[in-house]
Amino acid sequence: MTVVDADARITSAGAATSEGGQELRSRGEISQKALMREAGAVLRLSESAAAALSDVAGDVGEDQSMIINMGPQHPSTHGVLRLMLELQGETVLRCKPIIGYLHTGMEKTGESLSYLQGGTNVTRMDYLSPLNNELVFSMATEKLLGIDGDIPERAQWMRMLLSELNRMSSHLLFMATNGMDLGAVSMMLYGWREREEVLRFFQKVTGLRMNHNFIRPGGLAADLPAGWRDDVLHLLDMLPPRLAEYEVLMTGQPIWRERLQGVGVITQSEALALAATGPILRSTGLAWDLRRDLPYLKYNEVEFDVVVGAHGDAYDRYAIRLNEIRESMKIVRQILERMPSGDYRIQNKKVTPPPRGRIDESMEALIHHFKIFTEGFKVPEGEVYVAIESPRGEIGCYIASDGSSVPYRMHVRAPSFVNVQCLPHMMRGGLVADAVAVISSIDPVLGEVDR
Amino acid sequence: MTTVDASAAARVAAEFVVPAGAIAAESCGQRVLFVEPGQYLATIETLYRDGFTMCVDLTAVDYLAHAGRSVPAGVVAERFEVVVNLLSVARRERVRVRVQVADNASLASIFDIHPSSEAMEREVFDMFGIRFDGHPDLTRILMPEDWDGHPLRKDYAQGRIPVQFKGAAS
């Protein structure tokens, strides 16, 4: 195996980067077929839909349209998303997302971190729902180890509690950024304020506001702290009146409706063809939620509704997320009632380090502890794909193991990466001012798009 | 772990119709289909007609450093393996298609069946250098356009920052 020195390559690439062929090209340079594809014709199969397509595209000459860049440094692109838009006046004819500005090779990094360290890596991908990232990575590792059926009850309910609270914090942040993008700046402050309440609870439980590395293969890093129940109850009591305030501020407000209704429409067949998941797919009226349809943890034992929309527009996606916060609260209340006592991690000496107290008494425990944290544990050869419902859609983790203590290949199916593909179809024929509303309604996290 | 025993394969095969030319296997209890590169497109199409209308994930693995991996009888292990995760919303089922791709070989693009594979195939091309024939816009997606090499290949070293000690002669 010849190993090429990476340092030499970095210098040869030079300081300036060019996206070259990744960029949107002008009409004169591309074929009619490519133009139709970029316009989304490949997804619209019915004749009437294709006819409707032509009245937007028209046969604009190259001199009548203009290609402009939006981003990567644009406050409403949620990070470093760059969109190239072809405009005719104020109408968006074509759009191409250009990504990779936040690519840090996390999947490559994942190949050098042991299964115990891997959580610190994946938690940074979708930094708004770190606990869901850790959960899917841990579940994939457990499946490879063959211990996925032995995870203690309490660990599973704790994981559900954290996952649902994380969904709430992520959607609360969506409320904030969506409000900000559309000019409701006070909403931004409210959304961040409420999210911070949830993060305060996470800090109390895990020690960190974000990037927790708390859900680990085999269970969790620690038990819930004393008084956790009161903290969760405080959250559950605080949020409903605040959500009611959001309704007054936004849902019923004419300007808000005008800005979102009918904007960024996607049909169900388009969403399925583009493998869009989460609130985007549900906004088209398809009740698809992995928590209900392919249940994991204890989701089949709790009651909740899958919120769906009817129009597939930005307003539906907003309303779905707002109501998903309520559904998550409903689940959290049931978790509070049903949280069992017991172990918070599996008592499998291979995977779980011995308790701190044992290390002072037992040489073997000390050795075991040392081995697990330096070498890690070996995972049998095989490959597995596990998917769960993150706030943004289906997050999946594909791990191929060669029998050592580090994953041979670790791939994360990031919902935002796939959902961003919907942008050209949602933007088409809309106004450039609505582009911001459309990006916002996808709720992409660029850390996860680029990984 | 990929079991190659006949009973597991039979169990997986009993639940749904295995497309012609595909070899059914089981991996950690999940349904896996091995297909020849030549059969790949036809298999994806058959599965599409069978209800697997959503291509949720397409990725690849470079098995350069793990050549002796276990594959079912009848499958010739190659350097690369493209892994496609399909989902049937109606049946609430998943199936994983694994294709062996030799070094420097290309694979058919499934873009015409699953438009969602557009960005995923570009990512695999960018990270592994596997070319997809028939992909409408096969360019890099995450790395800069003028980048040399394909980072997720196993013969691509991880970048590092040299450690410098203050005052020490280098």
pLDDT in tens, A185-208: 889 899 999 999 999 999 999 999
Query: Does residue A64 or residue B84 have the better pLDDT?
Result: B84
Tens-place pLDDT, residues A70-79: 877 776 777 7
Q: Please say whether the beta carbons of A100 and A119 come within 8 A.
A: no
What is the C-alpha end-to-end distance of chain B, expressed in Å?
Answer: 48
B19-43 residue pLDDT tens: 777 888 888 888 899 999 888 999 9
Any domain includes A36: no
Segment A259-287 mean pLDDT: 90
Q: Are B158 and A288 an interchain contact pair (Cβ–Cβ within 8 Å)?
A: no
Residue A214 CA to residue A247 CA, distance in Å, equals: 34
Residue A321 lies in a domain: yes
Q: DSSP string of A408-421?
A: SEEEEE-HHHHHGG
Percentage of residues of chain A with pLDDT beyond 70? 89
Strand-pairing partners, residue A401, are A382
A26-35 tens-digit pLDDT: 777 777 667 7
Query: Under a CB-based contact definition with an 8 Å cutoff, are residues B79 and B87 in contact?
Result: no
What CATH number is associated with residue A178?
1.10.645.10
Give the CA dihedral A113, A116, A119, A120, nearest 10 degrees: -60
Angle at A105 between CA A104 and CA A111, to 5 degrees: 140
Q: What is the average pLDDT across A239-251? A: 91
Q: Looking at chain A, how many residues does it have?
A: 451
Backbone angles phi and psi of A393, in degrees to 5: 135, -155
What pLDDT is attached to residue A15?
Answer: 43
Give the residue from B64, B45, B58 showing the smallest Cα distance to B132.
B58
Taking alpha carbons only, the member of A272, A415, A133, A138 closest to residue B86 is A272
Judged by CB atoms within 8 Å, which residues 140-159 of B form the interface with A?
140-149, 151-152, 154-159
Does any CB of chain B come closer than 8 Å to the CB of residue A396? yes
Counted domains in chain A = 1
The number of beta carbons lying within 10 Å of the beta carbon of residue A352 is 18
Cα A372 off chain centre by: 30
Q: Which of A427, A450, A275, A281 is nearest to B110 (CA)?
A: A275
- Judge: B1–A400 Cβ closer than 8 Å, yes or no: no
Q: In chain B, where are the structural domains located?
A: 2-106
Q: What is the DSSP string of A33-90?
A: HHHHHHTTGGG--SHHHHHHHHHHHTT--GGG-EEEEE-SS-GGGTTT-EEEEEEETT
Beta-carbon separation of A396 and B59 below 8 A:
no
Shortest Cα distance, chain B CAs vs residue A15, angstroms: 11
By three-state DSSP, how is residue A290 classified? helix
Does any CB of chain B come closer than 8 Å to the CB of residue A417?
A: yes
Q: How many contacts does A have with B, using Cβ atoms within 8 A? A: 166
b/e code B111-130 from CB counts within 10 Å (16+ = b): bebbbbbbbbbbbbbbbbbb
Cα separation, A35 vs A195, whole angstroms: 42
* A10 or B127, greater pLDDT: B127
CA–CA distance, A282 with A251 (Å, rounded to integer):
18
Percent helix, percent strand, percent coil in chain A, to nearest 5: 55, 10, 35
Contact A400/B61, CB-based, under 8 Å? Answer: yes
Residue A143 Cα, gap to closest chain B Cα (Å)? 7
Q: Is B44 on the interface with A (CB under 8 A)?
A: no
- Within a domain: A205: yes
How far, in Å, are A221, B162, B168, B169, B170 from residue B165 at the CA level?
Answer: 35, 10, 6, 8, 8
Phi, psi of A95 (to 5 degrees): -150, 140
Q: CA-to-CA distance for A212 and A220, rounded, in angstroms? A: 11
Q: Is residue A57 part of a domain?
A: no
What is the average per-residue pLDDT within B61-82? 86
Using alpha carbons, select from A143, A93, A76, A87 the residue that is nearest to residue A115. A143
- For residue B104, report the phi and psi dihedrals to the nearest 5 degrees: 70, 5
More confident residue, A86 or A282: A282
User: Nearest Cα to A189, choosing from A227, A142, A120, A246?
Assistant: A246
Q: Give me the mean pLDDT over the A302-308 stretch.
A: 92
Handedness of CA A356, A362, A363, A365 (dihedral sign): negative
Q: What band does A47 get if pLDDT is binned at 50, 70 and 90? A: very low
SS3 (DSSP) at A433: helix
User: Would you state the pLDDT for residue A166?
Assistant: 93
B61-78: average pLDDT: 84
- Structure-token match 């808000």, residue found: A256
- The pLDDT, as a whole number, for residue A62 is 67
pLDDT mean over A315-327: 93
Q: Is B113 on the interface with A (CB under 8 A)?
A: no
List the single best residue of A383, A412, A422 to mutate versus B (max B Cβ within 10 A). A383
Q: Classify burial at A283, counting beta carbons within 10 Å of its beta carbon; exposed 0-12, middle 13-18, buried 19 or more.
A: buried
Worst-scoring range by mean pLDDT, A110-119, B109-118, B156-165? B156-165
Strands B30-35 and B93-101: parallel
Q: Flag whether A441 is in a domain.
A: no
Closest residue in B to A394 (Cα) is B56
Cβ neighbours of A442 in B, within 8 Å? none
Class of domain B2-106: alpha beta
Residue A351 covered by a domain: no
Residue A96 has pLDDT above 60, yes or no: yes
Domain presence at residue A153: yes
Residue A93 CA from chain centroid, whole number: 28
Is B8 a residue whose pLDDT tops 60?
Answer: no
The residue range of the domain holding A268 is 130-346+377-405
pLDDT for the residue numbered B15: 61
User: Could you tell me which residue, A380 or A17, shows the higher pLDDT?
Assistant: A380
